[in-house]
């Protein structure tokens, strides 16, 4: 599990208590979730942004840590990054033990205010609308977490994301059919611009069956606020997400062989649905190594 650092949880607790949100936060969070599902994106008041942080911070942080860990497994690395649609700073927190030159772009004043409370005042945060954002320099890496889903002109936004990066682009989206469509659009634009998948894909053109979608899942510990917001009794939640990492240089992406479904474990063998260069294949393994492999691992 990818737990939020204790100091971040402490600040979130303070924010909730300071603004007296306990009585109304569940209703506020439900409305925010409904607006997000309906693509009804509005500028948040500060109290709403606090509720958003309480409800979504554990999941976004966990997903980002997962993706960064997958990236590290390739042996690649980066030293500077632009975080587009940074929200309250989950990526900044995930990178707090790394020597990375971090810059962020977040147009919501309320989100930026919470970002400062969680991360301090030394981060460079731009407040412009992304499509109006201008930069003289390109970044080694550009990170767009749960961002494309909120943009109407997705193709223009994606082209600009790739244009801002010299080496890597990270796209993270909700683990829904709509989120996966955004991933497919990102892959299409990447191919047009001469970029290559790094993870998790084994093909440039997705070969999943119609009406299916590629996503992954991690199990997250619920904070007390998160449990109350969702009226949940279980101490954990399974967060579904989609992601793709692109590289400017050519990669051996066709060798990825990523497990794209939850493994089916039987007595004496395990069944895997694997993304290969030939499409989605079902593979059976009987060895002990197969028993340890999980959804999202490479076979």
147: domain CATH number is: 3.40.50.150
Q: Are residues 12 and 140 in the same domain?
A: yes
Cβ contact 263:274 at 8 Å? no
Angle between helices 6-18 and 109-119 (to 10 degrees): 130
Residues 247 and 261 in one domain: no
Q: Which residues contact 106 (CB under 8 A, 6 or more apart)?
A: 85, 86, 87, 112, 115, 125, 126, 127
Give the integer Cα–Cα distance in Å for 240 and 173. Answer: 9
Note the pTM of the prediction, 2 decimals: 0.92
Inter-helix orientation angle 46-73/109-119, to 10°: 60
Q: Count how many domains the chain has.
A: 2
Whole-number pLDDT of residue 13: 84
Q: Which residues contact 137 (CB under 8 A, 6 or more apart)?
A: none
Parts of the chain with a pLDDT under 70: 1, 19-42, 209-210, 226-227, 229-233
Residue 17 counted as domain residue: yes
C-beta separation of 85 from 146 below 8 A:
yes
How far apart CA 225 and CA 25 sit, in angstroms, is 9
Pair 100, 214 in one domain: yes
Q: What is the pLDDT of residue 205?
A: 87
Q: Which tokens belong to 243?
A: 């992601």
Residue 95 lies in a domain: yes
pLDDT value for 275:
94
Tell me, yes or no, whether 276 lies in a domain.
Answer: yes
Does the residue 1 lie in any domain? Answer: no
Calpha distance 296→272 (Å, rounded):
11
Q: Kindly state whether residues 249 and 262 are assigned to the same domain.
A: no
Taking residue 160's Cβ as centre, other Cβ atoms within 10 Å add up to 17
Q: Tell me, yes or no, whether 64 lies in a domain.
A: yes
pLDDT tens digit sequence for 240-259: 999 999 999 999 999 999 99
Residue 190: inside a domain = yes
Q: What are 248's two structure tokens?
A: 């400017």
For residues 275 and 142, state if they share a domain. no
40 plus 175 within the same structural domain: yes
Question: How many residues comprise the chain?
Answer: 299
- Chain centre to alpha carbon of residue 87: 12
Does residue 68 belong to any structural domain of this protein? yes
- The residue range of the domain holding 202 is 6-253
**In terms of domains, do 275 and 241 share one?**
no
Element (H, E) at 240: strand 236-247
35 and 142, same domain (yes or no): yes
Per-residue pLDDT of 14-50, as tens digits, reads 887 776 555 666 666 666 566 556 565 667 788 788 8
Separation between Cα atoms, residue 204 and residue 188, nearest integer Å: 8
- Judge if 271 and 142 occupy the same domain: no
One domain for residues 15 and 153: yes
Residue 88 belongs to a domain: yes
Same domain? For 163 and 285 the reply is no
**49 and 168 part of one domain:** yes
């Amino acid at each position: 599990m990818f737990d939020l650092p204790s100091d971040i949880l402490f600040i979130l607790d303070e924010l909730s208590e300071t603004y007296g949100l306990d009585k109304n936060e569940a209703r506020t969070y439900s409305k925010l979730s409904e607006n997000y599902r309906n693509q009804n994106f509005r500028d948040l008041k500060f109290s709403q942004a606090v509720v958003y942080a309480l409800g979504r911070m554990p999941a976004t942080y966990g997903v980002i840590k997962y993706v960064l860990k997958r990236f590290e497994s390739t042996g690649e690395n980066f030293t500077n990054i632009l975080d587009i649609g940074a929200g309250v700073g989950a990526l900044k927190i995930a990178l707090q033990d790394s020597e990375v030159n971090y810059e962020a772009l977040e147009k919501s004043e309320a989100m930026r205010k919470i970002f400062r409370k969680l991360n301090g005042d030394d981060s460079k945060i731009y407040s412009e609308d992304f499509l109006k954002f201008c930069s003289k320099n390109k970044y080694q890496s550009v990170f767009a977490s749960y961002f494309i889903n909120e943009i109407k002109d997705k193709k223009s936004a994606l082209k600009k994301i790739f244009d801002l990066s010299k080496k890597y682009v990270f796209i993270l989206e909700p683990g829904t059919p709509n989120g996966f469509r955004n991933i497919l659009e990102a892959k299409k634009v990447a191919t047009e611009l001469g970029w290559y998948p790094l993870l998790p894909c084994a093909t440039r053109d997705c070969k999943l069956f119609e009406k299916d979608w590629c996503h992954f899942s991690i199990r997250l510990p619920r904070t007390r606020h998160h449990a109350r917001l969702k009226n949940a009794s279980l101490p954990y939640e399974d967060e579904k997400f989609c992601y793709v990492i692109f590289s400017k240089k050519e990669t051996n992406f066709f060798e990825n062989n990523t497990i794209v479904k939850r493994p089916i474990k039987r007595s004496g063998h395990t069944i895997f649905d694997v993304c290969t260069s030939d499409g989605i294949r079902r593979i059976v393994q009987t060895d002990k190594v197969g028993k340890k492999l999980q959804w999202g691992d490479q076979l």
